[in-house]
Structure 1
């Protein structure tokens, strides 16, 4: 590995508060003995990997996901994301997304796996690296469909072949199973501060692995239900541990260490491009949801005081009262005028999501841990409220129509996914949009008024990046934005 490659990793590390400049100087000092190895170690590369995935998850994928999951829409007074609302993205829009998932994350992951191979004392690094590889590849394949996989982490292969999405998922399951086999909650050597998500707590990583495996198998529910059921059955049993806390990276207000979405907003001169979508605010208002003012600011106009106002999706043209539209709050890192946005975490998976995943799997009859689906549904709502310290969960559970447990499998799955969507408001936008693609819930989304792709069509994938279209001789061909990925059978 070259010093330039290490420099890249160090620069990525500066995006998170727990990594200091001194760590980079250790490897970049020009006075270092030239006879010493310049190979980076797993404790340097692991946070680089997590920071890179956190950046793509919390910035471009958060933006696209939160627009298409109908949490946000384009502010009429600005124009940065109009193409997102027009469903008019181009190949050049996704070069950065691809770069962060492949050269910035996947190649570093492979370096960790190469370094730790056969070294039992480093098994916990291997396990986390495998989970990060599975997570990164799921993001990539859920976004684009078929992707490079087996040749993707080798820098000298400039034309990697593409792997069908179904086979990518088979590899994801294999990575997770291998990671689970290596995790030792009592291991003497574990990451500590260089693990930005759990600080080396391997019990939490085991919970993460089980929860992620559940998420990945449920993704196949509509296209390969028997395979999904068989995979989820391996998680049954009262002793299987799932996440009960949010798996996230925390950020600070220190320059270079802010939430990645807010950091970009600073780079755009604090221009507020996102405003509240009427789809989510109307639903929350109808259900008297106490989380609504946590995710969105009250309107600033006197006659709408103590009211949260959303704008119809894509209705940024001709809005006569743009000052009444509510903005996302600092809690989700999406308010460019509030410095507290810098502190918003990026959630890889949340406790609320964990409970809702379990609830759905139980309803489908695929998971048995001894906990009823209704109990898990309630715990998911409670976890969402607790994550943002929102009071009033008991009243909400007792009175909100959306919080009531219905009869029938279809109605129960609908209730679960809608509550998951509410919990992910502005903080897990890409996952919420992906779950909508899988289930068609919520079933009250509206087509953007600015759509350029034809009546009734909605975004179903990201477009392959220009870097692949123009440089990879094995590129399989452009897929249109409304072309569904393999597991999207609805």
Structure 2
């Protein structure tokens, strides 16, 4: 059954390119037997596949380096350049083009055709996909075209501020929730949906359940965007309090993720890299000091799930940018064929909800935050149940019981939470991990050895093609210039 989504991606791409290439040149020879619209199930699949491919292999390990959770010292220098902030043109170019030229163009077509067909559920899905894409874009690049980005009449769209893009994400989520209707007899794009369709990571039994989960995903993304807005200094306290009471992702079965499979063709792209160039063994990705130090400090049972022992039978790590000594490699529990691309998870949202409580942005206080934090940690540990790296029940409980933030100072409680968020996001969630560090500055990081910057990297450079072709570009900001959402 997993083979179907690759077939759908290829078919959707062919249909999309076919419909866009004929508009200007072949109108006089319209084939009455040719399809003029694309089934939304075929459109949504390539959007999700292409976005996920970029998130996992194009940027995932690199951003994990930036967050100093992974190190590349064992790679014989293969990944030293990105770890030390020496960035070539292809990564930014591929990322920019994937998000704008491929994914967002298909989303715009999906949204337009859904609106014209009177299908509000598909239109809602398109808006949520658009919100996810723009959220990623601004977290990667900072200021970016948003308000004019999909206007075909504008050749050089302006760059909107990060605050404007994040507020746009919030608005898109609100519009989508207003449109989505699980009781509507006209379903959303169901069969091709890799999030919540029958072959998705969190498969739904029916279109109604699928749309309920999309609504939870929209509210969860809105919450994440609002917390970034608050961190940047925007007055969104009332909006956070309001969305806090709306249905969000709460269980592992509701995680927003793209699945990968055991079969080679549909395997996780990072595993494919290992399979092609190192015989399936991980010789490139290792433990970095900040993450391992925190995990050892609290006897975190995920240590043996995330990493293997070094050549001497110990768990060790290295400073970012260095390459001496025997160090623990990242485990194939993480770098495995069927490891999913997790975009929004129940553990992430639970820990963020606890943070909102500690900050007084939501009811519950620190006592409520402690329970929500423990639930988030439990979800993070439970993710590996029935999978490689499973953690025993007793080890889980012992670990969770040690955390008591109810009577801590606000600063102490926040640090405890931020450490747990950082550890939770260390398993192939590079963009989220890097964003988390930039948002909180926890833990303390040092500039990698041999780095080309004087501070921790804060942003990806814009695609060279965008700078050369768009007269409204804003140039290339310094890569260590903090993002607006950092609140500096």
Q: Matches of residues 408-419 of structure 1 in structure 2 within 5 Å?
A: 408-419=409-420
Instruction: Give 1:112 shift.
Output: 0.5
1:147 is displaced (CA, Å) by: 0.8
Does the aligned pair in 2 maintain the 1:397–1:403 contact within 8 Å?
A: no
The alpha carbon displacement at 1:222 in A equals 2.7
Q: For residues 458 and 298 of structure 1, what CA distance do their matches in structure 2 show?
A: 28
Structure 1 residues 150 and 407: CA distance shift in structure 2, 3 A: same
Once the two structures are superposed, residues 111-145 of structure 1 have per-residue CA deviations (whole angstroms, 9 ceiling, x without a partner) of 1111011544x211111111111111011111111
Deviation at 1:472, TM superposition (A): 1.9
Match of 1:235 in 2: 243
Q: How does 1:282-297 map to 2 (within 5 A)?
A: 282-297=293-308
Asked whether the 8 Å contact 1:183–1:202 carries over to 2, the reply is yes
Aligned position for 2:351:
356
Q: Which moved more, 1:258-267 or 1:287-296?
A: 258-267
Question: Are 2:163 and 1:152 aligned?
Answer: no
In 1, the alpha carbon distance for the partners of 2:345 and 2:231 equals 23
Residue 27 to residue 240, structure 1, CA distance change in 2 (3 Å): closer
Unaligned runs of 5+ in 2: 19-30, 198-206, 386-390
Structure 1 pair 49–77 and aligned structure 2 pair: CA distance change class (3 A): closer
2:163 aligned residue: 166
Aligned to 2:331: 329
The alpha-carbon deviation at position 164 of structure 1 amounts to 1.8
Matches within 5 A, 1:300-315: 301=311, 304-305=312-313, 307-315=314-322
Aligned to 1:216: 225
Cα 1:356/1:27, change in 2 over 3 Å: closer
Normalised by the size of structure 1, how large is the TM-score? 0.85
CA displacement 1:345-370 (0-9 Å, x = unmatched): 00011111010111111111112379
| Closer/same/farther in 2, CA of residues 314 and 210 from structure 1, 3 Å limit | same
Distance apart, 1:58 and its partner CA: 1.7
Give the match's secondary structure for 1:248: strand
Alignment partner of 1:487: what SS?
A: helix
The secondary structure found in structure 2 opposite 1:434 is: helix
Given the superposition, is the C-alpha separation of residues 241 and 460 from structure 1 closer, same or farther in structure 2, using an over 3 Å criterion? closer
Mapped to 1, the partners of 2:9 and 2:435 lie a distance apart of: 37
Any idea what SS the aligned residue of 1:332 has?
coil
Choose which of 130, 135, 138 in structure 1 pairs with 2:132. 135
CA shift in 2, pair 1:294/1:18, >3 Å: farther
Answering whether residue 107 of structure 2 is matched by residue 104 of structure 1, we say: no
The 5 A counterparts of 1:2-401 are 17-21=3-7, 24=10, 35-120=33-118, 122-154=119-151, 157-188=154-185, 189-199=187-197, 200=207, 201-227=210-236, 229-237=237-245, 240-245=247-252, 246-270=255-279, 272-299=283-310, 301=311, 304-305=312-313, 307-316=314-323, 319=324, 321=325, 324-333=326-335, 341-368=336-363, 372-389=368-385, 390-391=391-392, 392-399=395-402
Cα distance, 1:107–1:396 mapped onto 2, change above 3 Å = same
The alpha-carbon deviation at position 372 of structure 1 amounts to 1.2
SS in 2 for 1:163: coil
- Contact 2:370–2:405, Cα closer than 8 Å, also in 1: no
Considering only aligned residues, what root-mean-square deviation do their CA atoms show, in Å? 2.6
CA contact (8 A) 1:208 1:247 kept: yes
Give the 3 Å change call, closer, same or farther, for CA 21–168 of structure 1 in structure 2: closer
Distance 1:406 1:346, change over 3 A: farther
Give the 3-state SS of the residue equivalent to 1:211 in structure 2. helix
Instruction: State the match for 1:337 in structure 2.
Output: none
Q: Is the 8 A contact 1:251 1:343 kept in 2?
A: yes
Structure 2 CA distance for aligned equivalents of residues 22 and 98 of structure 1: 23
Is the Cα contact below 8 Å between 1:85 and 1:450 reproduced in 2? no
TM-aligned CA distance change 1:205 to 1:26, over 3 Å: closer
Matched-pair contact (CA < 8 Å) for 2:5–2:194: no
CA–CA separation in structure 2 for the residues paired with 1:77 and 1:105 = 32
Is the contact between residue 18 and residue 196 of structure 1 (CA under 8 Å) also seen in structure 2? no
What displacement does 1:65 show?
1.7
User: Taking structure 1 as reference, are residues 453 and 131 closer, same or farther at Cα in structure 2, changes over 3 Å only?
Assistant: same
CA contact (8 A) 1:240 1:369 kept: no
Contact persistence 2:321–2:448 (CA under 8 A): yes
Judge conservation of contact 2:61–2:428 (CA < 8 Å) in 1: no
Determine the C-alpha separation between the residues in 1 that align with 2:102 and 2:235: 35
Q: C-alpha distance in 1, partners of 2:12/2:64?
A: 39
Q: What do residues 76-111 of structure 1 show as CA deviations (whole Å, max 9, x unaligned)?
A: 442222112212224443101111111121111001
* Residue 200 (structure 2) aligns with: none
CA distance in 2, matches of 1:52, 1:155: 22
Once the two structures are superposed, residues 319-343 of structure 1 have per-residue CA deviations (whole angstroms, 9 ceiling, x without a partner) of 1x3xx3111122322xxxxxxx111
Residues 132-167 of structure 1 deviation map (CA, whole Å, 9 limit, x = unaligned):
111110111111111112332356754322222221
| TM-score, length of structure 2 as denominator length | 0.86
The offset of 1:69, in angstroms, is 1.3
Moved more, 421-430 or 18-27: 18-27
